[in-house]
Structures are given as C-alpha cells and as structure tokens.
A = this chain, B = another copy of it.
C-alpha cells in the first residue's frame, strides 16, 4: 500500500499519476483490447481482427487505444512491410499482468449483475 510521505493517500490527489493510470485502464476500450489480446497468441492479432472483436469501436478509437497501450509498454506492435501492409499486436509481459486484475473485476460484474439489476428494478 502506497501512502505518500505527507500522510495523505496520494491516490486522491487529482494529479496523482496512479490515479490517471487507473482512469486509463478502467477505460472501456482499453480493458476490452487487453482481454482480446490476452485470449490470443501474442503477435498474431491484426488491426482488423481487433476491430471485428470489439463491436462498436471506431477506426479512430481503436487506433488511439492501441497507441496509448503501446506507449505505456502494454502491447507490442509489429509492422509487416508488405503490400498492403499488415500490423500485428500482442501483449507484453506487463500487459499480460494486467489481464488478471481486469478479469477479477469482470468476474465481479458478471457475478453480481443479476443482483444489481434486481435492485434497480425494485427502485424503478
């Protein structure tokens, strides 16, 4: 557990890097991309594969999402310099290590979805 030297949990400062990181990995598309990549063999997934696997994502969003993931060292990017070019993505070790925490959250959501729906219904 990290607590900063001032005595305040630094997670609660708006400009805390860890909080920003959390915002990013909590992102819908980010977590989804990590899951898709985790389910396939590293370096075998093409841009268009990802698009197909992520219904509703736009061309642009996927591009941006992958860029951020690559910039953070979570995914690898390999360009085959063919014509037309194809690009393959895969998780790094770091990226793979993120899949577990995300899975825990997904499982919680799946496990409690019904209960929550029911509760919403009651208080409609």
- On A, residues with C-beta under 8 Å from B are 1-2, 11-14, 17-19, 21-23, 25-28, 31-32, 35, 53-56, 71-74, 94, 97-98, 100-102, 104-110, 112-113, 115-117, 119-120, 123
Protomer copies:
2
Nearest B residue to A54 via CB reads B12
Interface of A is mostly: helix
Q: Are A55 and B13 CB-contacts (below 8 A) given A26-B31, A116-B21?
A: yes
Shortest A83–chain B CB gap in Å is 27
Nearest B residue to A110 via CB reads B2
B71 touches A94 (CB 8 A): no
Q: Give the residue of B19, B22, B119 whose beta carbon is less than 8 angstroms from that of A73.
A: B119
A28 touches B21 (CB 8 A): no
Contacts of A28 in B (CB 8 A): 19, 22-23, 26
Contacts of A104 in B (CB 8 A): 100-101, 104-105
Starting from the known contacts A21-B112, A26-B26, 4 additional A-B residue pairs (CB-CB under 8 Å) come to A21-B109, A23-B28, A94-B116, A101-B101
Q: Are A73 and B17 CB-contacts (below 8 A) given A11-B106, A26-B28, A31-B26?
A: no
Q: Give the residue of B18, B71, B98, B105 whose beta carbon is less than 8 angstroms from that of A123.
A: B71
